Amino acid sequence: MKTKSNQIIIKVVNLEKSFGNTKVLKKISTDITKGEVVVVIGPSGSGKSTFLRCLNYLEVPTGGEIYFHDSRVGFQKKEKEVDLQRSKIGMVFQSFNLFPHLTVLGNLTIAPLNIQNVTKEEAELMARVYLKKVGLLEKINAYPRELSGGQQQRVAIARALCMNPEVMLFDEATSSLDPELVGEVLRVMKDLALSGMTMVVVTHEMDFAREVADRVIFMDGGVIVEEGTPNEIFSSPKEKRTIDFLRKLS
């Protein structure tokens, strides 16, 4: 088993987000500690993706606070500081979002080369290490359109890892994949979890949640309804909404 510290990486206090008059997040509070794998589940429209996107300020919260270590994310910050925070928070999207005009190598090195103080050789070396980790070293010179969905998503994971992030966010990373390609991406995510990476994962894959999560958060209607270990949530849920949701899935 991995060791866990109590060092809080992300602290969320009374987070609120509204789109127009619609309140999507209502006073959400939680902490993400180092090495923890947090899986967020819930029906669509529950606000779980919005919650995740607030963590790296892709969505601008309308209330509350988020701290990355001790510094507040977003709010009154210069753009540069937001960019710096984002570079330490990796993110993987539902639609992969690889850069189609760059090769796999180009996708993996563009951020390190432009943001960190690394040479071309160092960036390339790192790219090779992470490509090997996701099992796609032989695709280093391919363009994204030449890859399957599962391969693209694994490259996207490697791309985020190349920035050496302290935490990785997964926004329904397997939802747009054909069923037979889901497994390869989940395997990479599981390996990553086992290696001690701090992860916040929004997903519909309950088996993954059960197997990999240290903590499961169940969201509905913009609030955290219930949270706990996978065992607590899946075997003995307390809240009615959680029970209803889990029953619908099985």
Partner 1 sequence: MEDSLSFWAFSHTIVIPRLLEGMAITLKLTIISGVIGFALGMIIALMRLSKYKIFSWFALSYISLFRGTPLLLQILFIYFAVPTLINVNLDSFPAGILALSLNCAAYLAEIFRAGILSIPKGQTEAAKALGLSHHQTMFKIVIPQTYRRIIPPVVNEFSALTKDSSLVSVISLGELLYVTQRIGAKYLRPWEVYFWAGLGYLIIVLLLSYVAGRIERSLELKGGV
Question: What does DSSP assign to residue 11?
Answer: E
Nearer to partner 1, 67 or 143 (CB): 143
Helix (H, G, I), strand (E, B) or coil at 216: strand
Task: Pick between residue 4 and residue 69 the one whose CB is nearest to partner 1.
Answer: 69
Residue 109 beta carbon to partner 1: minimum distance, rounded to whole angstroms: 11
Question: C-beta of 131: minimal distance to partner 1 in Å?
Answer: 16
Nearer to partner 1, 169 or 224 (CB): 169
Q: Which residues bind partner 1 (CB under 8 A)?
A: 56, 58, 79-80, 83-84, 86-91, 93, 95, 97-102, 110-111, 114-115, 143, 145, 156, 159-160, 163
119: its two tokens = 């040479």
Residue 232's contacts (CB-CB under 8 Å, 6 or more residues apart) are 216
d(C-alpha 245, C-alpha 200), whole Å: 20
In this structure, are residues 136 and 103 in contact, taking their beta carbons and an 8 Å threshold?
A: no
| Residue number with CB closer to partner 1 (101 or 247) | 101
3-class DSSP assignment, residue 102: coil
Least separation in angstroms between CB 167 and partner 1: 12
- Least distance CB 46 / partner 1 (angstroms): 21
Instruction: Provide the greatest CA pair distance for the chain.
Output: 55
